[in-house]
Amino acid sequence: MLATVRQPGWTRAMTFVAIGIAFTYALSLGARAGLGYDPVLDGEAVLQIGLLSVPFFFLVGLGLFDYWGYWMSGKPTRAEDHSGHGAKSWKSYFYPNTDHKVIGIQYTVLSFFFLFVGGLFAMLIRAELAQPGRQFIDANTYNGVFSVHASILIFLFIIPVFAGLANYVLPLMIGAPDMAFPRLNALSFWLLPIAGVMMLSSFFAPGGSFASGWTAYAPLSNSAPIGQVFFTIGVQFAGASSIATALNFLVTIITMRAPGMSFFRMPLLVWANFSTSLLVVIATPFVAASQFFVLLDRALGFNFFDNGQGGDVLMYQHVFWFYSHPAVYIMMLPGFGIISEVLAVKSRKPIFGYRMMAFSLLAIVVLGFTVWAHHMFVSGMQSWIRIPMMITTAIIAVPTGIKIFSWLATLWRGVLKLDTPMLFALGFLTMFTLGGISGVMLAMIPITVHVSDTYFIVAHIHYVLFGGSLFTIFAGVYYWFPKMTGRMYDERLGKIHFWMTFVFFNLTFAPMHVIGVQGMPRRVADYADQFATWNLLISLAAFGTGLSTLVFAYNMIASWRGGPRAVGNPWRALTLEWQVTSPPPVFNFDAIPTVVGGPYEYGVPGAVHGVFADDPPPVMAGAKTVAGGAGTADAGAPPSDSDHA
Amino acid sequence: MEAAALSAPAHGHDHHGPPEANRSSRVEPQMLGMLLFIISEIMVFGAFFTAYFFIRIVNDDGWFPVNGVELPKLVAGFNTAILLSSSLTLHWAQTSAKNGNRFGLKAGMLTTFLLGFTFLFIQINEYIHVGFAPHDHAQGSIFYGLTGLHGAHVFIGLTLLGIVTVRAFRGHFTPEEHGGVEIPGIYWHFVDVMWIVVYTTIYIL
């Protein structure tokens, strides 16, 4: 018994959680008694201390700090037996693991769990809005539901699912055996379920869940019921997780590339995650700080946002949006990377303007920090800030436009293979362009003033986050599904999924532009009768979107269990992750490959990207013979397809 | 390819482990990780400084003295000197570690730790005697916010230094392998430099 408790794992984690709760009560009671507060037992104080401290007890109990503990105390560490590496059965996915492939799957599956939870909230929202008046939930619950919907999908789906996909494929793509800091990688995964459980459990708090939207504007979040701190503290854990992952990606990309993999031979997914990680490292501390301010105001009576005491409420919005505008690129740039991979492979052509694609990512990183106040055009800030912010916002559409046109030029005269990943990639191109155009409209101050806080905003954000990010995520999941699971997905179901999603998505969100311009306010549980017809249509289409997700879930689960075995390189791709078996061996490569050319030379005779030790030496580029090259696992798939040239 | 593959340290086992990763940069991964983390930390301070400037601008009476209470510039200045000298002793310890001077390493680490501890002790004393509380006014909030944030970083830095000190006394670190002194050391230097910025904005400006 004692041995089980001492062993890192769930038993010890739960024991430590119990110790953590006891510690929380002791600290709270002791501090309040010592300072002479009355009453000594205060539920809110206990809850706030507990939300901050119990997760650490949980993580220690689960064993995430064991190695560092040994190392710090100078005891012999147990690093070199690699016992914590690789999955032995499905149970391994429920324990900390240092293998980036296991962590990638943990991340992706957990994020999709939260997609379904967040999607269910969306269904609830649409059920309530199907008709004017009150149907299922009261106004306060409604506020909580849309707040949790947004927070869950932003902080626990879109941001981590990109980290998960990149976790799986990025080390393979650059020819690294693992991430630079595998234990930090495990820790950053295990911070996520904590944040998710925290946000969801806020519904059990007295006074209901946090109801101030995912933006949690300050005077409102300061005075909201205790459910608010579940957001305030939950965001800290999600933010810490993304900062740790971003550090890991940056160090991995900079220090662990295969020989010959110069920066301009990296696949664009690597470039995209490099740029995203820069954004995360620089911007995410601001959202942490904004929530610290709220927490200090709430818990310790600070006056950051109390106008009567000299505080400033607009400061919250500035600090929050200084993170949250770059955050929209954190939620989009990795998707750009996925699309570049899929489009090049599925149209059998080199990416058009590879260098401009990379530079435009970096341009977005820089410009992303100069536009935050366009979220505050109607906030009452100094009006002179608005014009420069309008101009920078219009400018940031330029690098994005470069990318869109480069993708179109990549497709130009390509040999398109319209399977599921490609369909989602093309769906992304059209839908994201629409969302981008409404974004440029919103950059214009007069339009923002007119449609601010209407359904036009809801339509815009869902066109860029659903039609944009989520479509790239689906494209990426279908594209790498064979690599990650070793099985092929069902192509027919995939196509059904795409067309259902595409049609119902547009039926759901396109009408929102119309009712938004007509003035239907967002974030309100009820609306004027004149919008009833449109809303009924939107709700029905939204349920269709919900159903399409079930097709996806069935396809993924059934194919993972019983789909046909995947070969190493089913897409005849050049990038390194496809040159190993599916799924890859536990340490990725027997020997690190050498990179001798660009990643997207599809249709170029004799082009080789990576050379493995057991291959014949590469023939000089431009020579007629196709170097046997890149393939190791499946000789059947030619590494380059000069037949299409 | 300019960066040569790392000459692999001999593995104790032969086949189970991963292939030795190529090293595509001359920067140590741990060092790079710490530098990036420090960028992140600078941004946390940046957010608090944003709050500071907003609060300072929106209030007509501006900054201290507020309600006749002045900040103890002299005590804090003395404290600044203590923290800065700890950077010097830390540098001594790091140089000693590189040169294999065990006495210098141990003495340097111990002095650094004690100086850092003194800094924190004086700062807590300052909180007790400063004459206002964070809930009195927004200026007090950001004073406690910024110095408290820095104090938390001193605490983290002290924890790291404490570990290094214990390891130094246990005979760890060699001239070849002293990353365990270098990398926490960079963090401590960052904490010191950040204090100069905090001190200048809060007390002097």
Chain A partners within 8 Å of B59 (Cβ) = 310
- Domains of chain B by residue range: 29-204
Tell which of A331, A353, A375 closes a domain.
A331
B10 touches chain A (CB under 8 A): no
A318 and A233 share one domain:
yes
List the structure tokens of A332.
């989009």
Give the model's pLDDT for residue B16. 61
Residue A304 distance to chain B (closest CA, Å): 6
Same domain for A284 and A245:
yes
Specify the number of domains making up chain A. 2
Q: How far apart are CA A581 and CA A557, in angstroms?
A: 21
- A612 near A596, Cβ under 8 Å? no
Q: A161 and A37 in one domain?
A: no
B139/B129 Cα distance (integer angstroms):
17
CB B181 within 8 A of CB B94: yes
Q: Select from B54, B61, B164, B187 the residue whose CB has the most chain A CBs within 10 Å, as the one to mutate to test that interface.
A: B54
| Residue A374 domain-assigned (yes or no) | no
| Per-chain mean pLDDT for chain A | 90
Q: Which residues pair with A454 in a beta bridge?
A: A521
Under 8 Å CB pairs connecting chains A and B tally to: 162
Are residues A60 and A110 located together in one domain of the fold?
no
User: Under an 8 A CB cutoff, do B22 and A257 touch?
Assistant: yes
Asked if residue A11 belongs to a domain, the reply is: yes
Percent of chain A past pLDDT 70, that is, above it, reads 93
| A64 and A105 inside one domain | no
Do A142 and A66 lie in one domain? The reply is no
Tens digits of per-residue pLDDT, A416-436?
Answer: 999 999 999 999 999 999 999
Instruction: Kindly give the pairing relationship between strand A594-595 and strand A610-611.
Output: antiparallel
Determine contact: B23 vs chain A, CB below 8 A: yes
Nearest to B13 among A80, A296, A312 (CB): A80
CA distances from A525 to A130, A133, A521 (A): 10, 8, 10
Tokens coding A470: 């989520």
ipTM of the complex: 0.90
In a domain, A618, yes or no: no
Domain end position, chosen among A282, A311, A331: A331
Mean pLDDT of all residues in A535-552: 96
Distance from C-alpha of B102 to C-alpha of B174, rounded to nearest angstrom: 9
What sign does the dihedral A516-A327-A147-B48 (CA atoms) show?
negative
CA dist., res. A15 & res. A27, Å (int)? 18
User: In CATH, what is the architecture of B29-204?
Assistant: Up-down Bundle (1.20)
> Which tokens go with A552?
């996806």
Q: How many CA atoms lie within 13 A of B21 on its CB side?
A: 24
**Could you tell me if B152 lies within 8 Å of chain A, comparing CB atoms?**
no
For residue A1, is pLDDT > 70?
Answer: no
In terms of CA atoms, which chain B residue is nearest residue A303? B138
> B13 at the A interface (CB within 8 A)?
yes
Q: What is the pLDDT of residues B45-71, one digit of tens each?
A: 999 999 999 999 888 777 888 888 889
The larger pLDDT score, comparing residue A366 to residue A74, is at A366
The strand pairing partners of A487, in sequence order, are A565
Give a yes or no: residue A216 inside a domain: yes
Same domain, A62 and A160: no
- End residue of a domain, out of A314, A331, A348: A331
Q: How far is CA A41 from CA A3, A52, A227, A296, A302, in A?
A: 35, 18, 19, 20, 21
B139–A310 C-beta distance less than 8 A: yes
Tell me which chain B residues have a C-beta less than 8 angstroms from the C-beta of A314: 54
Give yes or no for residue B4 having a pLDDT over 80: no
Q: Is the pLDDT of residue A303 over 80?
A: yes
pLDDT recorded at residue A161: 97
Full residue range of the structural domain in which residue A252 is found: 97-331
Convert the pLDDT of each residue in A451-469 to its tens digit.
999 999 999 999 999 999 9
Facing A302 at nearest CB: one of B11, B141, B172: B141
Is B51 close to A289, i.e. CB distance below 8 A?
Answer: yes
Of B13, B59, B134, the CB nearest to A302: B134
pLDDT tens per residue, range B126-183: 999 998 999 888 999 999 999 999 999 999 999 999 999 998 998 888 888 888 899 9
Q: Is there a single domain that holds both residue A59 and residue A162?
A: no
- Within a domain: A118: yes
Residue A258 lies in a domain: yes
